[in-house]
C-alpha cells in the first residue's frame, strides 16, 4: 500500500536537524514503503519514491535520508525534473540542504531544447550554481546514455553555470566531430540561455586561401545595460599579408539610427608591404518635423583596393551623401549633397564628382480630369569629368485623355526653362560660353484603339498606337555639356514620352512620328503572351550628341514575354537595326522547370555604338537548381562571348541542406565552389575558392 507523508511532519520530530520554515513545509514526499529508524534519525523510502518542492521533482527507486547530517542518498533510476523543463538522470544522487544541493556521479541531462549533457560528476548548489566535471555537451538527437556517438560534441574538463551572474564558464574545451578532436581552447565563458545580449567573444571564422594562407576573424561583442547601443570589435588576421581591426558601432534613438564601421590595419597592398590602411563607413537615418526623413551615408578609403582584396566589401566607388526627403500624397521634395570617391586605379580626381547641392521638388495631381506634373530642380556639380556646372531648371507637363468607344485620344504639352553657369570645362571643350539659358516646350497628340476578342479558349487584346510630337528648344547643343542623357536609348518605356531623353541637358528642336502595337493573348493551351513592337521616326529637326545616334528612323523596339506555364517562361527585348533587322541590343532569358529541376538561361549583347567606350558586349549565362529530399544543389556559370571569344568569367556550385539540420538533427552543411575568372585590377587576384560551412545546432557556424 502506497504511503503519503508531508515531509515536515516526520523531519521536525527531532529538533536537532531543522528549524521551522516555509520552504520545508513546501516539500512533499511519497513512496511505496517507508522505514523510520528513530534511534539513528534515519528514514529509508523504497519503491516509486517521489520528492517535490517548488524548484524540482525527484524520482528514485530508493532514498536513504540522514536527518542529523541532512543528507539524502537517492539510488536506482534517479530522475530530476527541473522547472525549466530540464531532466537529469543518474544511478546515484546525493541530496543536501533540504534537497537544494545535488551531487551525482555518471550524470546525464536533457535540456528543454532537447540538447544533452553528460558528466562523470555533477554538483548543483543551493544558489543554483551547477558544475559539470569531465562533461560533454551536444544538441544531437542521440542516446548518449546508452553509448550512441553524437555527430559532434563539446567536451570540457569543467563547466560551471552561475544563474545569478547568468554566465557559463568552460575549462579545457574540445570540439569533436565523430569523436575526433578538431578544435581546442584552454578556457572560454559566455552568457547563458537567459541573456538576450552580453559582452563576450562571438563565433570565430577560420579559413585558408592561396592568397592569404591561414586567415582568422575573431569578433568580440560589447554592450552595457543601455539597450540602445552596442558594438562589435573584430580582429582580422590575413595570414602573411597582415592584420586589420574592424569596429562596428550601432546606436538607436527614438526616431533615429546610426551604424558605423571603422577599419584600420597593416596590410600588404599594391603600394607596398606593411602599408598602413584606413577606411570608414557610417549610415545615419532620422525623422524630423513635418515628416522630413534625413539619411546620411559616409564612405572613405585611403587605399584603392584593400577593401575588395581582403573581402571587406566589393564596391568599386564610394558615394558619400546627405539627403533630406519628404513624400506626401502629391508632392516629393528632396535635397541632396554627395561626393563620389572612385576605387579604380585609372580614375583621376576630376572624375570623382561632388554635388553641392541637388534640390528637387515634384508636384503632381489632377484638375478637372487633366493630369499635371511640375518639377523644380537646382544643382551644382564639380569635378564631373573636368566640368563644374550650376543648373536651375523648372518644367511642367499636362496630360488630357479622351475616351469614346474603344478609341483613345491623348493630348500632352509641356515647357521648361533652364539656366546654366558653366564655371569650368576640360581642355577638349573649346566652347567659352559660361552663362547660358534655354527655353523649351513641346506638345503631342496620340491616338490608339483597343481591339478585344474573347472565346471559350482564348482572350486577346490588341492596341495599335500612333503619336505625333513636336519639341522646340533654344539651340544649346554645342554649348551645354550633356551630362544626364548621353546614354539615352529608346525603349518600350519612353517611346511615347513627350521628352524621350528624360534629362534636361540635351533638348533639341525636332518633330517625331512614334508608333507601336501592343498585344496580349491568354489561352489555356499556350499560356499568357504579351508583345510590343514600335519605332520612332524623326520628321524634322536635329538629334545630335547622343551615343544612340540614328538617322531619321530609330531601331525597332521589341518587348516579348511568354508565360507558357508555371514551369516555363521566356522573356525577350531587343533593339533591331531598321536597315537589316540585326540586333543592336538583345536580352533573352529562359526560365523552365523539368524533372523537378529549375533551369535559368540568359543571353545579353549590345553593339559598340550604344556603349560609351565603343566596345561590344556579349554574355551568356546558364544555371540550374535541383532539390531532392532535404538537399539542394545549384550550378551557374557565365561566359564572355565578345570579339568571337568564349571566356568563362565566373562559375559557382552550391550544395546546401535546405531544412534546419541533418545528421541527428544537429549539424548542417553548405559547400560552395566559386571561380571569378579574373579581374582587371592588379591588386586583386583571380579567385578560385571552395567554401565549406558547417552549422552546429546551438553553437553557430
Backbone angles phi, psi at 589, to 5 degrees: -135, 145
Q: Are 200 and 188 in contact (CB under 8 A)?
A: no
In tens, the pLDDT along 331-380 reads 999 999 999 988 876 666 667 899 989 999 999 999 988 999 999 999 99
d(CA 390, CA 381): 6
Backbone angles phi, psi at 469, to 5 degrees: -130, 150
Q: Tell me if residue 289 falls in helix, strand or coil.
A: helix
Structure-derived torsion over alpha carbons of residues 7, 9, 10, 12, reported in degrees to the nearest 10: 100
Backbone angles phi, psi at 475, to 5 degrees: -70, 105
* pLDDT for the residue numbered 346: 66
Nearest of 553, 417, 422 to residue 472 by alpha carbon? 417
Q: Tell me if residue 237 falls in helix, strand or coil.
A: strand
What does DSSP say about strands 647-657 and 56-66: parallel, antiparallel, or unpaired?
A: unpaired
| Cis upstream peptide for 357 (omega within 30°) | yes
d(CA 696, CA 701): 6
Q: Where are the alpha helices (DSSP H) in 314-391?
A: none
What does DSSP say about strands 331-342 and 317-327: parallel, antiparallel, or unpaired?
A: antiparallel
Chain centroid to CA 522: how far?
37
Contacts 24+ apart (CB under 8 A), 403-407: 406/449, 406/450, 406/451, 406/452, 407/447, 407/448, 407/449
- Grid cell in block for residue 94: 546525493
Neighbours of 135 (CB within 10 A): 22
Q: Which residues of the chain have pLDDT under 70?
A: 1-27, 99, 126-127, 190, 193, 345-350, 547-550, 657-662, 664, 676-687, 698-701
Pick the CATH number of 3-112 from 2.30.30, 1.10.238, 2.40.50, 2.60.450: 2.60.450
- Grid cell in block for residue 224: 552595457
d(CA 543, CA 114): 73
Domain boundaries, the chain: 3-112
Report the chain's terminal Cα–Cα distance, integer Å: 55
- Grid cell in block for residue 284: 545615419
d(CA 118, CA 175): 15
- Grid cell in block for residue 621: 549565362
Structure-derived torsion over alpha carbons of residues 75, 79, 82, 87, reported in degrees to the nearest 10: 140
Look up residue 329 and give its DSSP letter. S
**Taking the CA of residue 570 as centre, how many other CA atoms within 13 Å lie in the half-sphere pointing to its CB?**
11
Q: Where are the alpha helices (DSSP H) in 281-355?
A: 306-309
Q: Are 56 and 42 in contact (CB under 8 A)?
A: no
* pLDDT for the residue numbered 545: 72
Amino acid at each position: 500500500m502506497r504511503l503519503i507523508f508531508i515531509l515536515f511532519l516526520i523531519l521536525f520530530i527531532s529538533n536537532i536537524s531543522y528549524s521551522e520554515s516555509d520552504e520545508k513545509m513546501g516539500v512533499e514526499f511519497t513512496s511505496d514503503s517507508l522505514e523510520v529508524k528513530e534511534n539513528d534519525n534515519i528514514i529509508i523510502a523504497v519503491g516509486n519514491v517521489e520528492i517535490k518542492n517548488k524548484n524540482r521533482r525527484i524520482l528514485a527507486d530508493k532514498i536513504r535520508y540522514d536527518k542529523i547530517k541532512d543528507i539524502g542518498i537517492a539510488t536506482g533510476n534517479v530522475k530530476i525534473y527541473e522547472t525549466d523543463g530540464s531532466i537529469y538522470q543518474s544511478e546515484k544522487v546525493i541530496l543536501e540542504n533540504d534537497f537544494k544541493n545535488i551531487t551525482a556521479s555518471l550524470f546525464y541531462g536533457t535540456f528543454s531544447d532537447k540538447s544533452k549533457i553528460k558528466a562523470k560528476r555533477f554538483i548543483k548548489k543551493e544558489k543554483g550554481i551547477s558544475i559539470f566535471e569531465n562533461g560533454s555537451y551536444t544538441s544531437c538527437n542521440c542516446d548518449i546514455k546508452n553509448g550512441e556517438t553524437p555527430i559532434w560534441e563539446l567536451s570540457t574538463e569543467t563547466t560551471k553555470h552561475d544563474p545569478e551572474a547568468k554566465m557559463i564558464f568552460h575549462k579545457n574545451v574540445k570540439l569533436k566531430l565523430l569523436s575526433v578532436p578538431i578544435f581546442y581552447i584552454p578556457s572560454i565563458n559566455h552568457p547563458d540561455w537567459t541573456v538576450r545580449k552580453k559582452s563576450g567573444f562571438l563565433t570565430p571564422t577560420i579559413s585558408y586561401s592561396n592568397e592569404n594562407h591561414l586567415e582568422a576573424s575573431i569578433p568580440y561583442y560589447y554592450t552595457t545595460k543601455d539597450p540602445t547601443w552596442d558594438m562589435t570589435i573584430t580582429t582580422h588576421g590575413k595570414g602573411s599579408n597582415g592584420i586589420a581591426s574592424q569596429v562596428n558601432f550601432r546606436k538607436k534613438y527614438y526616431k533615429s539610427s546610426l551604424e558605423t564601421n571603422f577599419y584600420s590595419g597593416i596590410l600588404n597592398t599594391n603600394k607596398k608591404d606593411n602599408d598602413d590602411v584606413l577606411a570608414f563607413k557610417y549610415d545615419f537615418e532620422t525623422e524630423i518635423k513635418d515628416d522630413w526623413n534625413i539619411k546620411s551615408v559616409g564612405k572613405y578609403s585611403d587605399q584603392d583596393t584593400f577593401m575588395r582584396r581582403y573581402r571587406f566589401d566589393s564596391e568599386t566607388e564610394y558615394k558619400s551623401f546627405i539627403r533630406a526627403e519628404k513624400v506626401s500624397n502629391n508632392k516629393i521634395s528632396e535635397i541632396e549633397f554627395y561626393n563620389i570617391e572612385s576605387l579604380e586605379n585609372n580614375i583621376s580626381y576630376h572624375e570623382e564628382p561632388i554635388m553641392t547641392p541637388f534640390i528637387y521638388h515634384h508636384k503632381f495631381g489632377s484638375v478637372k480630369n487633366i493630369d499635371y506634373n511640375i518639377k523644380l530642380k537646382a544643382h551644382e556639380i564639380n569635378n564631373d569629368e573636368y566640368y563644374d556646372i550650376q543648373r536651375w531648371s523648372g518644367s511642367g507637363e499636362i496630360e488630357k485623355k479622351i475616351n469614346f468607344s474603344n478609341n483613345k485620344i491623348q493630348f500632352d504639352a509641356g515647357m521648361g526653362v533652364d539656366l546654366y553657369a558653366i564655371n569650368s570645362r576640360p581642355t577638349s571643350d573649346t566652347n567659352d560660353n559660361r552663362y547660358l539659358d534655354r527655353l523649351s516646350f513641346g506638345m503631342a497628340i496620340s491616338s490608339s484603339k483597343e481591339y478585344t476578342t474573347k472565346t471559350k479558349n482564348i482572350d486577346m487584346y490588341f492596341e495599335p498606337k500612333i503619336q505625333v510630337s513636336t519639341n522646340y528648344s533654344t539651340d544649346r547643343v554645342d554649348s551645354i555639356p550633356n551630362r544626364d542623357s548621353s546614354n539615352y536609348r529608346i525603349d518600350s518605356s519612353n517611346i511615347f514620352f513627350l521628352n524621350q531623353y528624360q534629362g534636361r541637358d540635351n533638348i533639341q528642336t525636332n518633330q517625331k512620328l512614334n508608333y507601336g502595337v501592343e498585344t496580349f493573348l491568354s489561352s489555356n493551351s499556350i499560356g499568357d503572351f504579351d508583345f510590343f513592337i514600335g519605332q520612332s521616326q524623326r520628321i524634322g529637326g536635329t538629334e545630335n550628341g547622343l551615343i544612340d545616334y540614328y538617322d531619321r528612323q530609330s531601331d525597332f523596339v521589341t518587348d516579348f514575354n511568354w508565360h507558357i506555364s508555371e514551369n516555363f517562361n521566356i522573356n525577350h527585348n531587343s533593339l533591331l537595326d531598321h536597315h537589316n533587322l540585326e540586333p543592336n541590343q538583345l536580352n533573352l532569358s529562359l526560365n523552365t522547370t523539368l524533372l523537378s529541376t529549375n533551369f535559368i538561361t540568359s543571353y545579353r549583347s549590345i553593339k559598340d555604338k550604344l556603349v560609351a567606350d565603343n566596345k561590344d558586349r556579349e554574355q551568356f549565362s546558364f544555371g540550374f537548381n535541383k532539390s531532392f529530399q532535404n538537399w539542394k544543389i545549384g550550378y551557374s556559370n557565365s561566359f564572355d562571348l565578345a570579339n568571337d571569344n568564349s571566356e568563362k568569367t565566373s562559375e559557382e556550385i552550391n550544395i546546401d541542406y535546405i531544412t534546419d539540420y541533418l545528421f541527428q538533427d544537429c549539424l548542417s552543411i553548405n559547400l560552395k565552389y566559386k571561380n571569378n575568372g579574373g579581374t582587371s585590377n592588379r591588386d586583386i587576384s583571380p579567385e578560385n575558392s571552395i567554401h565549406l560551412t558547417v552549422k552546429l545546432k546551438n553553437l553557430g557556424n
